[in-house]
Structures are given as C-alpha cells and as structure tokens.
C-alpha cells in the first residue's frame, strides 16, 4: 500500500499493465470460445459474470499482498431489508445495477455509489400471499436494457440509461398459481431466459425465453413431462418443478444449461406421484434459439427429499479435450457431464454427512440404497432440506483450477403427511410433510468453504464455520477468494492456501453474491450484506441465537486505501 | 416474553404502510371484523386437523415444528389472542426484520383458518422445550 502511495502514477500505470496482462480467457478452453459476449475484465455483466458460470473476476490490482489495505469506498442502502439482500450486483462500464427486496432496482455510479436512477415497481398485492417473496437474486443486462422477473409474475425491460420501463409482460398468472420470479434472467443473443418458482406448488413450472427487444415470448419449456410413465395418475398436473435460478450457456454449442427444481409435493407419502417425475430435479440442455431439449439428465429420479437441481451455477469447463459441465443439486453431490450429450463422467460428494443414499454410481448416476421419508413416522435424513449446499453459488478460478464452494453438514427429521393439492382459488403450498433440523450423528452441525477440483472433488483446503454459510463466493485474478458468512463478516482468503488475509464486519449476515469490477483503472469489490432467506428460518432449531441475528440490506463496496 | 413483545410491536405497527410498493393489508380489529370461531377452539378434531394443515404450510422454514423456536415468532408455550391469530393468518404480515408472513386468505377458507387457530391456541399449554 505504501508503494502505491509513494510511486503514484508510475505504479498505477504499471498496475494497469499487470491488470490487462491477465488473460481474459480461461486457460485450457477451446480456442475461439468466448466466455462473454463482451469480455471486458472491468465489468461484471451477468449473474455469474460469464456464461461459463465461474463467478471469477480476472482483475488483479487487489491481491494477496495488498488486500489488507482494503477500505470502504461507499455504501448504498436500498431501504428494503425484509429477507435481507440476496442479489448479485452487475457492473457495466462504470455503472452498478442491482435489485433488492420488493424488486427495487438501482443504477449507481460504481465509483462513488451515487444514485443515477431507481425503479420501484408497483407490485400487485397478491405478492403478500406468496411464499417466495420479497427477495430477488439478480438482474440481467443486454440490448440497452435491464431485465428482471418480478414478484408478481411479470418480466420487465428497463431502459439501461434512464430506468424507464421499455416493456413489461405478465408472463405468469400469479394470482392463480402463487408462483413468481425470484432468480436472475440470462440474456443469450436476442433473448431473455428465466425460470419460475414452482417446486412447492401444485402447478407445472416452466422456463421462458422472451425477446429482449420487445418482451414477446419466443419459447417456453415445460419442466413437467407429459408422460404417464413418468407421472402416474393425474400427478403431472401438480408436478411443480420449474427453474428458479440462473443457468449457463455454451456459445459454441448454442446450448443453455438449466437446472430444474424438485417435484411437488416435496415428500411422497406413497403414490403421490408415481414414476421418475421427469424433468424435475434434472439438468436440461436447451437450444438457445428454439428451447428444444437437446439432452437431459435427471440427477434425483423421483426426488423424495426436495434435493432440487434448480440451484446455482453450471460450470462450463474444458479439460483433457473434453467439454464438461459441472453441476450440483441440494443432495450435496456434484455431477460432471459431457456437455455435448449429457453422458455422465463423474459424481462426487461435497459433504460427508449423507444417508439418503449409500452412494451414487459415478458411471450411471444410480442412487444406491435410497432412504426415503415415510408417512406418519419421523425419519432421520441427511442432508437437510436446505441441502448440502443452498442456491448460493461457488466460484471457479481458471488460474488455480479450483472451485471454491460452500457446503453444509446438517441433518433433519422428516415426517410425511398426506395432502390434497389445492389449486382453487389459488395454488396452496404443497409440501406433503414437514421437517426439523437435526445435528448429524456424533457431532455438531456445521458448514465449510472448500477449495476443490471440480471434476474429481479432490480437496485442497477447507475452512469450517459454526453456522453453515449461505453466501455466494467470488474468486479473482489477484489470487483471492471473497466470501461473507452468516454472522456478518466478509473474509478474503488466499486462493492457493486458504489463509485468512482480511476480514470486515458489515453488521449483518451474507446471502448475496460478491463481485469485483474496475472503474477508471481502480478495482473494487462489492459485497451485498443483509441477512434474510427462507433457509435461515431452519437455523434456530439448531442454533436458537440465530433468531436474534440482525437483518439488514446494504451494498458495501471496498477498494484499496 | 420476547415473542409477546414482538407480537405487541407488530400489533401496533401493522396498520401503517411498511413498504412503499407493497402495503400491508391492515389488521382487522379483533372481534369487530373477524368471524367468530364456528366450533369451540378446544375441539380435539379441529386441533388435530389444524395441526395437519399447520405442518403442511411450511412450519420448518417459518414457525418450526409444532411452533418451536424458528426465525418467525415462536408459538409454542405462548399465549395469543385467537382473533389476532386469525387475522394474522388471513392477512399475513409484510415488514419487520425477520421476513414476511404470507397472507393465506386466498388459500384457506375461514373454517380452515379457525382450525389452525385452534391448533396454535393448543400450543400455548405445551411446554416450551
């Protein structure tokens, strides 16, 4: 830090040389495969920053040596703290865009935090009746517009410069389905792709593509396959599914990879939904232009536990001449595919606390030795309904070739109860039972942040947390891993060793996604802070003090002194 | 005690808009606007059925199994006004620091709400374990 001060402009310029000397493409990837439509290292233009789902910023001005000199550049508060701040912000050409609870959208000067515009949609009061509210995980940007799916089932295209509504479309009948949008869209070429909530509702969840220019629907994909072999009786009508988080995209194959949510009801009392329940708890490869299904792999056939494949990132990764896709679901197992055809390459567990299966065959994906909850009798199941990991995302650093990811070692007691699906006058929650969190056998529940090889699962380092972390992870070209915990501390770790290099208390826990960006040659790290989340409601059964952990909602932005 | 304080605070503030864009529906005044229970609230069948419905509405994420400790207010071992509970289930609650409670007015008929009220009232006499 002293060097920066004393050498002034010369050092700044040399730093910039270093900054831009970092290869923007991942080493080992196929030549010509663009990770971004506009791969400017200064920007964070989409939910996972790049189509490959890495959440990696190549910026290196802030690094292992100087991270101790980080200080707060500015803070922005959205003024809506219910369910905290779950979003990942975007930055394009010096402007930060982010969305907070109740779909409050902001455009800020990314260097100063000064507000350029805000947009507070007038939401339908039906939102008050919904289970999935009032949070939102992120925006998308493209064709001069800012896109988001709303709590009341609309999709908005806002003018990127002014925040004025360019178009809005009512895509979901939220008053009827009790479903909505909470995940960030993905812009692919001329389309905006996003999926709906449905996994706990007696409806059929879909993934949609709208034209970015007009909002007209281009295609939709029903995650409930109309197949009586897959859905016995009339269970398909109430099958749930959907795709509530953000997928990845391979431009070379023109395939969008999207995870689908669990079937409804979450728990099957025996005969609730006979069959494997396609395409729930699966990974889909969809043609980006037509929405046509190219391949699928169902990770949890007839999901009995709400292990939901809808969460988080799909890593688009090339290794040893193979085009791979790395994806996980809430079971805590990671699935590795050939992304050209969906053939399974490996399966490995990121948690050591599981009993829902004895194992998963890494060649076929077969769930070996299933242990399912039963009607009317409490059953001890690991992992819990929040998963081996929640919907927060890990980060893959193409320089270290490590995937930095969180995991939870927590169990539960599940009791299944018969439930009649309710669709009138509006869809009611369709769980088919309830659960309470439990400590694992012989020890306390906990969570951890791991550095692993994403293909083999080999672990290089790990850091334990008393309260399982539920925030996303950032890794950078400066050799850093940035991650915020439930207690309200944001940490910087050495990406190679896991050494803790810097900490800052933001005052409320972390559920959103930290990012890094650069404006006028100065690197920043933005950390959304604000504890909230449905998952957090499960914690007090194990840690009663979490009931009193303060809520919050603030965007903290750090830079070097 | 803490839960009682929360309920009191909530009761005082609920009538005011808590968000600029989605406003709370407003609590009905107890007894004046809420229907009376169609059965005695200590009816065992009503309590049992209300318990099943309570469990099916995501107790794990919200109030905890059988109203034990959770992020939402604890219900077990607490004493609530049944009309307040009815109105809260019907109208939900937007605001506060913990998170919103959905309004169940479009999902549950008044009889079903009263059964859940009966169940929640039954929790008041159960030990806070």
| Mutation target vs B (from A537, A542, A550; most B CBs, 10 A cutoff) | A537
Residue A105 contacts residue A163 (beta carbons within 8 Å): yes
User: How many CB atoms are located within 10 Å of the residue A66 CB?
Assistant: 19
Tell whether A534 lies on the interface with B, counting CB pairs under 8 A: yes
State pLDDT tens for residues A26-64.
333 333 334 444 589 999 999 999 999 999 999 999 999
Handedness of CA A194, A200, A201, A205 (dihedral sign): positive
Q: Is residue B129 part of a domain?
A: no
At B38, which CATH number? Answer: 1.10.760.10
Residues in B touching A80 (Cβ below 8 Å): 19
Cβ–Cβ gap A541/B94 under 8 Å: no
Contact A200 B59 (CB under 8 A): no
Taking a C-beta distance cutoff of 8 angstroms, is the pair A412, A356 a contact? no
How many CB atoms lie under 10 A from the CB of residue A555? 25
Closest CA to A110 of A18, A42, A55: A42
The answer to whether B102 contacts A131, with C-beta atoms less than 8 Å apart, is yes
For A57, A392, A467, A473, A511, the CA distances from A528, given in Å and listed in that order, are 16, 13, 18, 12, 8
Residue in A434, A531, A538 to test binding to B, most B beta-carbons within 10 Å: A434
What is the nearest CA distance from B60 to chain A, expressed in angstroms?
A: 5
Q: Hey, what are A306's tokens?
A: 């709400």
Residue span of the structural domain in which B76 resides: 2-123
Per-residue pLDDT 10s for chain A (561 aa) are 333 333 333 333 333 333 333 333 233 333 333 444 458 999 999 999 999 999 999 999 999 999 999 999 999 999 998 999 999 999 999 999 999 999 999 999 999 999 999 999 999 999 999 999 999 999 999 999 999 999 999 999 999 999 999 999 999 999 999 999 999 999 999 999 999 999 999 999 999 999 999 999 999 999 999 999 999 999 999 999 999 999 999 999 999 999 999 999 999 999 999 999 999 999 999 999 999 999 999 999 999 999 999 987 899 999 999 999 999 999 999 999 999 999 999 999 999 999 999 999 999 999 999 999 999 899 999 999 999 999 999 999 999 999 999 999 999 999 998 999 999 889 999 999 888 999 999 999 999 999 999 999 999 999 999 999 999 999 999 999 999 999 999 999 999 999 999 999 999 999 999 999 999 999 999 999 999 888 998 998 999 899 889 999 999 999 999
Two tokens, residue A97: 């865009």
Closest of A433, A463, A427 to residue A448, by C-alpha: A463
Range B7-13 average pLDDT: 32
To the nearest whole Å, the CA of B27 is away from the closest chain A CA by: 13
With contact defined as beta carbons under 8 Å apart, do A523 and A53 qualify? no
Residue B54 Cα distances to A226, A433, B98, angstroms? 32, 10, 20
Task: Provide the 10 A C-beta neighbour count for residue A407.
Answer: 27
- What contacts A478, CB < 8 A, 6 or more positions away? A59, A60, A61, A62, A63, A64, A67, A523
Q: Using CA atoms, how far apart are residues B112 and A515, in angstroms rounded to an integer?
A: 46
The side-by-side arrangement of strands in the sheet containing A56-57 is A56-57, A473-476, A480-484, A489-494, A500-505
From CA A267, how far away is CA A375, in angstroms rounded? 9
Range 17-76 of A in CB contact (< 8 A) with B = none
> Which of A121, A434, A547 is nearest residue B60 as measured by Cβ atoms?
A434
pTM above 0.80, yes or no: yes
By the 8 A CB rule, do A186 and A46 touch? yes
Give the distance from residue A435's alpha carbon to the nearest chain B alpha carbon, in angstroms.
5
Number of C-beta neighbours around residue B7 at 10 A:
18
pLDDT of residue A21: 36
The answer to whether residue B79 scores a pLDDT higher than 90 is no
DSSP label of A295: E
Confidence of residue B77 (pLDDT cuts 50, 70, 90): confident
Contacts of A121 in chain B (CB under 8 A): 21
Distances in Å between the alpha carbon of B109 and those of A383, A499, B104? 35, 56, 9
Sheet holding A70-76, edge to edge: A70-76, A554-560, A522-529, A515-519
Give the integer Cα–Cα distance in Å for A242 and A222.
8
Query: How far is CA A489 from each of CA A123, A530, A533, rounded to the nearest angstrom?
Result: 33, 11, 17
- Distances in Å between the alpha carbon of A395 and those of A26, A52, A315? 13, 11, 9
Instruction: Provide the terminal-to-terminal Cα distance of chain B, rounded to the nearest Å.
Output: 15
| Helix, strand, coil percent values for chain B (each to nearest 5) | 40, 0, 60
Whether B53 has a pLDDT exceeding 90, the answer reads no
In a domain, B83, yes or no: yes
Q: How many domains does chain B have?
A: 1
With bands split at pLDDT 50, 70 and 90, how would you rate the model's confidence at B24? very low
Taking the CA of residue A370 and the nearest CA in chain B, the distance in Å comes to: 23
Q: Which residues of A are catalytic?
A: 306
Q: Using CA atoms, how far apart are residues A148 and A193, in angstroms rounded to an integer?
A: 10
Residue B11 has pLDDT above 50, yes or no: no
Which residue has 């402009």 as its token pair? A9
Cβ contact, residue pair B55, A534, below 8 Å: no
Residues 6+ apart with CB under 8 A from A437: A384, A386, A410, A411, A412, A445, A538, A539, A541, A542, B60
- Decide if A538 and B61 are in contact by the 8 Å CB cutoff: yes
The CA distance from A297 to A259, in Å, is 10
The two beta strands, A240-241 and A204-211, are: parallel
How many C-beta atoms lie closer than 10 Å to residue A348's C-beta? Answer: 20
A551 to B97: CB separation less than 8 angstroms, yes or no = yes
pLDDT given at position A554 = 98
The per-residue pLDDT for B30 is: 40
Alpha carbon of B37: minimum distance to chain A alpha carbons (Å): 22
CB contact (8 A) between residue B65 and residue A435 = yes
- Cβ atoms of residues A86 and A137 within 8 Å: yes
A153 touches A194 (CB < 8 A): no
Encode A178-195: b = buried (16+ Cβ within 10 Å), e = exposed: bbbbbbbbbbbebbbbbb
| Residue A270 CB-density burial (10 A; 0-12 exposed, 13-18 middle, 19+ buried) | exposed
Task: Tell whether A415 is within 8 A of chain B (Cβ).
Answer: yes
Cβ distance A83 to B100 less than 8 Å, yes or no, reads yes
Q: Which residues lie across from A162 on neighbouring strands?
A: none
Residue A394's pLDDT is 98
Whether the predicted pLDDT of B2 surpasses 80:
no
Two tokens at A191? 């389309």
B128 in a structural domain: no
Q: Residues, chain A, total?
A: 561
A434 and B59: CB-CB below 8 Å?
A: yes
- The whole-angstrom distance between residue B100's C-alpha and the CA centroid of its chain comes to 12
CATH classification code of A15-560: 2.140.10.10
Using the Cα atoms of residue A275, residue A276, residue A278 and residue A280 in order, give the sign of their dihedral.
positive
**Beta strand ranges found along A350-401 (DSSP E):** 359-360, 367-368, 379-381, 395-397
The predicted complex's ipTM stands at: 0.71
pLDDT at B16 over 70: no
First and final CA of chain A: distance in angstroms?
7
Compute the half-sphere exposure of residue A243: CA atoms within 13 Å on the CB side of its CA.
31
List of chain A residues whose C-beta atoms are within 8 Å of the C-beta of residue B104: 129
CB nearest A541 (choices: B64, B102, B106)? B64
Probe site for chain B from A80, A105, A127, A128 (most B CB atoms < 10 A): A128
Give the separation between CA A119 and CA A107, rounded to whole angstroms. 9
**A53 near A514, Cβ under 8 Å?**
no
Interface test with A, best of B61, B76, B92 (most A CBs within 10 A): B61
Question: Min CA distance, A538 vs chain B (Å)?
Answer: 5
């Amino acid at each position: 830090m002293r060097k920066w001060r004393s050498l002034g402009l010369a050092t700044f310029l040399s730093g910039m040389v270093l900054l831009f000397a970092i290869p923007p493409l991942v080493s080992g990837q196929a030549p010509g495969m663009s990770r971004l439509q506009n791969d400017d290292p200064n920007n964070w233009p989409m939910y996972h920053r790049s189509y490959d789902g890495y959440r990696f910023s190549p910026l290196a001005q802030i690094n292992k040596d100087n991270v101790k000199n980080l200080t707060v550049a500015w803070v922005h508060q959205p003024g809506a703290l219910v369910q905290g701040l779950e979003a990942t912000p975007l930055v394009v050409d010096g402007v930060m865009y982010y969305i907070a609870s109740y779909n409050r959208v902001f455009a800020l000067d990314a260097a100063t935090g000064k507000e350029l515009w805000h947009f507070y949609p007038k939401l339908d009061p039906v939102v008050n009746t919904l289970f999935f509210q009032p949070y939102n995980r992120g925006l998308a940007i493209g064709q001069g517009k800012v896109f988001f799916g709303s709590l009341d089932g609309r999709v908005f295209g806002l003018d990127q410069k002014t925040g004025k509504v360019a178009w809005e479309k009512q895509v979901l009948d939220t008053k009827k389905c009790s479903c909505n949008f909470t995940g960030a869209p993905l812009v692919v070429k001329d389309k905006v792709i996003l999926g709906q909530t449905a996994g706990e509702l007696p409806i059929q969840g879909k993934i949609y593509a709208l034209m970015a220019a007009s909002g007209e629907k281009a295609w939709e994909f029903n995650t409930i396959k109309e197949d009586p072999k897959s859905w016995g009786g009339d269970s398909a009508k109430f099958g749930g599914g959907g795709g509530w988080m953000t997928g990845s995209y391979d431009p070379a194959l023109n395939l969008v990879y999207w995870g689908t949510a669990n079937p409804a009801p979450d728990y099957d009392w025996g005969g609730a939904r006979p069959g494997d329940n396609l395409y729930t708890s699966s990974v889909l490869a969809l043609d980006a232009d037509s929405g046509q299904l190219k391949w699928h792999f169902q990770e949890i056939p007839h999901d009995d536990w709400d292990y939901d494949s809808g969460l988080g990132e799909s890593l688009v990764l090339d290794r040893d001449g193979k085009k791979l896709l790395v994806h996980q679901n809430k079971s805590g197992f990671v699935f590795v595919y050939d992304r050209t055809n969906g053939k399974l390459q490996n399966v490995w567990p990121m948690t050591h606390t599981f009993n829902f299966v004895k194992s998963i065959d890494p060649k076929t994906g077969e769930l070996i030795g299933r242990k399912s909850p039963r009607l009317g009798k409490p059953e001890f199941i690991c992992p819990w309904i929040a998963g081996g990991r929640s919907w927060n995302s890990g980060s893959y650093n193409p320089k270290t070739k490590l995937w930095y990811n969180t995991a939870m070692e927590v169990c539960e007691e599940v009791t299944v109860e018969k439930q009649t699906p309710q669709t009138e006058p509006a869809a009611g929650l369709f769980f088919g039972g309830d659960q309470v969190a439990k400590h694992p056998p012989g020890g306390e529940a906990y969570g951890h942040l791991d550095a692993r090889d994403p293909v083999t699962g080999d672990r290089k380092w790990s850091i334990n947390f008393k309260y399982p972390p539920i925030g996303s992870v950032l890794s950078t070209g400066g050799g850093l891993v940035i991650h915020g915990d439930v207690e309200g501390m944001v940490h910087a770790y050495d990406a190679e060793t896991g050494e803790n290099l810097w900490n800052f208390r933001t005052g409320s826990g972390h559920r959103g996604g930290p990012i890094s960006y650069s404006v006028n040659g100065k690197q920043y790290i933005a950390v959304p802070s604000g504890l909230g989340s449905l998952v957090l409601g499960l914690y007090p059964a194990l840690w009663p003090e979490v009931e009193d952990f303060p809520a919050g909602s603030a965007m903290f932005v750090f830079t070097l002194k | 005690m803490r839960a009682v304080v929360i309920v009191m605070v909530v009761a005082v503030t609920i009538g005011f808009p808590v968000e600029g864009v989605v406003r709370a529906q407003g609590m009905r005044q107890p007894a004046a606007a809420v229907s009376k229970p169609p059965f005695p609230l200590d009816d065992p069948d009503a309590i049992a059925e209300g318990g099943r419905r309570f469990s099916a509405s995501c107790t794990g994420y919200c109030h905890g199994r059988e109203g034990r400790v959770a992020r939402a207010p604890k219900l077990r071992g607490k004493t609530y006004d049944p009309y307040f509970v009815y109105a809260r289930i019907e109208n939900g609650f937007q605001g506060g620091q913990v998170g919103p409670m959905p309004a169940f007015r479009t999902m549950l008929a008044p009889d079903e709400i009263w059964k859940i009220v009966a169940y929640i009232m039954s929790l008041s006499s159960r030990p806070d374990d």
